[in-house]
């Protein structure tokens, strides 16, 4: 990849750099415009040019901060703040396209035992690894949310008849691969309980009801695993 292309991609993807670039471009324009509207001195030009640069930096920082406020600090996936703020828009778009949404509710089995016996640092590592599996095991159109602790939600847009089986097959394979390569020094192995509910596009968009129903399904699955 060309260096210039990499830099351009970085600027576009990074809100702070994007803000600086936008402000810088505006500053160049100001410099040209203000030659005819000020005394033309370097100080005058610098003052006029600095305003859009600072504005661009502040706008970029604000966007950067807002994005991080909706991301879980440990895993980088979406958090509850994002869910409460954005899920209605996700549902609205799905309804407009007559697409159903699937809700997967996950809980890691025996996670407290892992923390108690091997420490929170090991537990955090498992949480991070599981989040990566969820992200890599889902589609780009899906959303991975950390509800809290060891509980996660996948909001699966364009959910169809095979969404549940295909998604869980991929995740179970990833968990098997993980257990074969990680935590070999302890007896604990990663397992999860999961509940799934599909919300039809022509039903009332009570996403909380669907999430709660998926959580209840997860608890039933977790109870079965404990027996």
Determine the average pLDDT of the residues in 80-90: 94
Say if strands 143-148 and 151-159 run parallel, antiparallel, or are unpaired. antiparallel
Contacts of residue 64, Cβ cutoff 8 Å, sequence gap at least 6: 14, 15, 16
Q: How many CB atoms lie within 10 A of CB 207?
A: 18
Determine the average pLDDT of the residues in 162-186: 93
The β-bridge partners of 192 are 108
- Where along the chain do its domains lie? 3-69, 80-226
Determine the average pLDDT of the residues in 202-206: 71
Task: State the angle between helix axes of 42-69 and 15-34 in degrees (0 to 180), rounded to the nearest 10.
Answer: 160
What's the pLDDT score for residue 39?
Answer: 57
What's the pLDDT score for residue 2?
Answer: 40
Residue 147 has pLDDT above 80, yes or no: yes
What's the pLDDT score for residue 50?
Answer: 54
Give the range with max mean pLDDT: 42-56, 103-117, 175-189.
Answer: 103-117
Determine the average pLDDT of the residues in 145-154: 97
Residue 87 has pLDDT above 90, yes or no: yes
Contacts of residue 158, Cβ cutoff 8 Å, sequence gap at least 6: 94, 99, 100, 139, 141
What's the pLDDT score for residue 47?
Answer: 52
User: Are the beta carbons of 50 and 24 closer than 8 angstroms?
Assistant: no
More confident residue, 27 or 144: 144
Determine the average pLDDT of the residues in 119-136: 97
Residue 13 has pLDDT above 70, yes or no: no
Residue 21 has pLDDT above 80, yes or no: no
Residue 150 has pLDDT above 80, yes or no: yes
CA atoms within 13 A on the CB side of 139: 13
Query: How many residues are recorded in the chain?
Result: 227
Percent of the chain residues topping a pLDDT of 90: 55
CATH number of 80-226: 3.30.70.270
Residue 193 has pLDDT above 90, yes or no: yes
More confident residue, 160 or 28: 160
Mean pLDDT of the chain: 80
More confident residue, 19 or 167: 167
Q: Which two tokens stand for residue 134?
A: 């969820």
19 band by pLDDT with thresholds 50, 70 and 90: low
Q: How many CB atoms lie within 10 A of CB 127?
A: 21
């Amino acid at each position: 990849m060309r260096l210039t292309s990499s830099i351009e991609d970085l600027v576009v993807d990074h809100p702070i750099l994007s803000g600086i670039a936008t402000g810088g471009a505006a500053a160049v324009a100001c410099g040209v415009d203000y030659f005819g509207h000020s005394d033309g001195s370097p100080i005058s030009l610098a003052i006029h040019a600095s305003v859009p640069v600072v504005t661009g930096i502040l706008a970029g920082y604000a966007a950067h901060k807002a994005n991080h406020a909706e991301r879980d600090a440990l895993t980088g996936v979406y958090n509850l703040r994002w869910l409460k703020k954005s899920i209605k828009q996700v549902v609205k778009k799905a309804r407009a396209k007559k697409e159903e949404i699937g809700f997967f509710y996950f809980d890691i089995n025996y996670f407290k035992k892992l923390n108690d016996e091997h420490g929170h640092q090991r537990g955090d590592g498992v949480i991070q690894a599981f989040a990566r599996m969820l992200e890599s095991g889902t589609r780009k159109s899906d959303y991975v949310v950390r509800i809290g602790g060891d509980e996660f939600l996948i909001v699966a847009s364009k959910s169809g008849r095979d969404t549940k089986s295909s998604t869980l097959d991929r995740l179970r394979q990833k968990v098997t691969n993980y257990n074969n390569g990680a935590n070999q020094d302890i007896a604990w192995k990663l397992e999860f309980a999961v509940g799934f509910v599909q919300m039809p596009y022509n039903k009332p968009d009570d996403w909380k009801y669907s999430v709660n129903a998926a959580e209840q399904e997860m608890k039933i699955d977790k109870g079965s695993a404990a027996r």
